[in-house]
Structure 1
Amino acid sequence: MRPSAVLASLLLAVCASAIPFNNAERNTALEAVKRDIANVESGLVEKRQPVDLGSLTGLVTGLVNSLVSILSGLTSTLSGLVKQIESAAGGVGDVTGTLETVKSTLSSTLSQVNSASSGVDPSSLTGSVPDLNSAIAEVETLIASLGVLGGTSAVTSLVSQITSIANDLLKVLKGLLSEATSAA
């Protein structure tokens, strides 16, 4: 036999064994091939689905709620600090201890307001404008009451630290107020 005849018969045998000729229906004749192709098909990228932002919206709502709750309690906290400073200025109690407490509370309050207000949509704060106004008034009263203790040389450094923290808080609150009123 010639080599070309051997090669042709070999190719025909391979082709015949790849797709068996049987009495199967036309649609099922290639089932084995379709099974192999199905694995490749599942690897294709499907249509992009819309991203569910429900968890992110819930997180932002939680931030707004925490900021609103901080703002509603901020006025009473600041008025309590003003009373402590006024009683310390009047000679009642330990001035240094009172100012350390005021500094700690004010620093904590500033960090809470900063962390709660970062990333919050200003338009969601329009209902908190009265709370912001009263908190700003209390911070200004606190700064004014610190002026009474400014002449005491023993606590001058502590008073300037508290004044700096109070000014930072005032700046943050005024920024929130301007954003909330401009968004309204």
Structure 2
Amino acid sequence: MSVKERKERERSERERLIVATARELAEQQGWDAVTTRRLAERIEYSQPVLYSHFRGKREIIGAVALEGATEMAAAIRAATSAAHGPRERVAALARAYLDFAARNPAVYDALFQLDGGLAYAREDTPAPLKDAFAALLETLGEVAGDGVHPGLFTETFWAALHGLATLARAGRLPPELADQRLELLVDRLPVV
């Protein structure tokens, strides 16, 4: 291995450590606790080293969001691949989405609530975000119904899931009715 390759590997490892540490700190204490000073202390590098990887907290949030999008897409695909029939796949997708949001609140915030400097629903949207949407579209597109644009249907169903995830997390919905809400949403689909 050349010196250049070793340095690139070390740089990549440092970047992964920064992102993992930011994510861990955000999951434990919230995003307000994530500062470059605290990250530098935790990973035992100087703040200038952090700034050599990320221009600031916004870019770190974006990196966490991209990592989270990849994980969410994998969770959705795993859940839907194990289900049989359109209704079961949609229910599995919805459960996987809501479970991901509940298990990873800081990542979910990085994806959908905080400014990580990422472009959504545009040509320059990063690949992990496009793939997360594609994971939804793969299942929801097949149940959109006649004359309904699959992408538009997917956006609308996703918005409903996002609303459920956000309201549940904020304590605005009784948790004991979560399964019934999910069932109601899935049962209202025209093709399942």
TM over 0.5: no
TM-score, normalised by the number of residues in structure 1: 0.36
